[in-house]
Structure 1
Amino acid sequence: MNRLPNALIDELVDDLEPVRPMKLAHGIGLVALAALVTIGLVELLDGLWRGILAGEASAYYFIANGMLGLLGAAAALAVLRMASPRVGNTQEGARWALAMFALLPAVAAITLGLQGRLQQIGADPYGLSCFLAGSGFSLLTFGALTAWLRRGAPVSSSRAGIYTGIAAGAIGSFSYGLACPIDTLGHLATWHTLPVVLGAFAGRAVVPGLVRW
């Protein structure tokens, strides 16, 4: 029995091109490179705080920046996995990291409120500059994660955008935090936290329009 060639199938096959598989390790390397370059830019533009190694930093400094680093890593890993959806692919780690991080501003608000020192946050002369710098240094990680998502096929682009912004804001604020010598609870829990909040809103607004498939 002779089969007639199907022109439509032939046309579709002719347009097929091999696609390089997405490996999680490559995505992790991309984010790590973005973070290292960001820290290098912080050193170049502002200079890292030498007081860290001299033992001048308070416990608040290490707690706040440690939380930022962990949140950035967990949220970035969630984004990398979202680009290649599969059964059982959840973001529990990022959710727990975000819940842990939310304790920082909550505890600061309660502590400073009980001490009657909440007004110190608004009177912080370096607060706005830290917020703007942390947000600005998040752009490289934001771009790297968005580029990775564009290669993949995230099921929920809105959720992917939120986690992209959270990861970028956390890594950007962590990187700039290595240059900021102000280590009070109110400063760290407010002005170094806000880039994460801004990143979440920016990611939700920008990323979905860039990763449609």
Structure 2
Amino acid sequence: MVVLLPVYQPGESLLTLVDGLGPARIVVVDDGSDPASASVLERAAERGCTLLRHPVNRGKGAALKTGFRHIAEAYPGEDVVCADADGQHRADEVRRAAERVRETGRMVLGVRSFAGMPLRSRVGNTLTCRLFEAVTGRLVRDTQTGLRGYPGAMLGWLASVPGERFEYEMNVLLDAARLGIPIDEVTIATTYLDDNASSHFAVVADATRIYWPMLRFAASRAGRR
């Protein structure tokens, strides 16, 4: 297993996750963090993480694709689990996702219970899941989860999916639906620290980036009828 952690302005929770993962091969992609994060990133590298850096902030999708390309070259054929390093995902959950990928050879999503989310996140996630099912015919119980596992054979495809920011992860699910790629799910804890204060999600701009691909997907399907 290789663990991929895209980060922007990371705090101590990055090191907590790294320590919990133990001997796992960990690739951290710093997406243009400012100098205040330098100490945390340096300590992650001292713990054995591979540290890749974007000189400026390019977005989560760009960070993930940088990581996928590096892993495909450095660890060919290895399965990858992507996780958020802001305290939302625990090391044992990362390992469970990796185990499911290994058992099934499928994409795996870590699914949270919406009941434990702050109101804004609960409403947004519920709406997004319902819209996704309406436009694709596929039920995905948590389209916004950042805990995702992928077989090594998918890395080339993942690097080709369009999107540079938060819309990238939605585009992956839409492309999987279009191609008929099966998706497995594992249940994980719903963890939000300080009402998700560390999130870098810009409500209006990033919500638009997420919903627009679904509307285009629906329009393309309608055009083929």
Q: Give the TM-score range, shorter chain.
A: under 0.3
**Higher strand proportion (structure 1 or 2):** 2
**Higher helix proportion (structure 1 or 2):** 1
TM-score (norm 1): 0.27
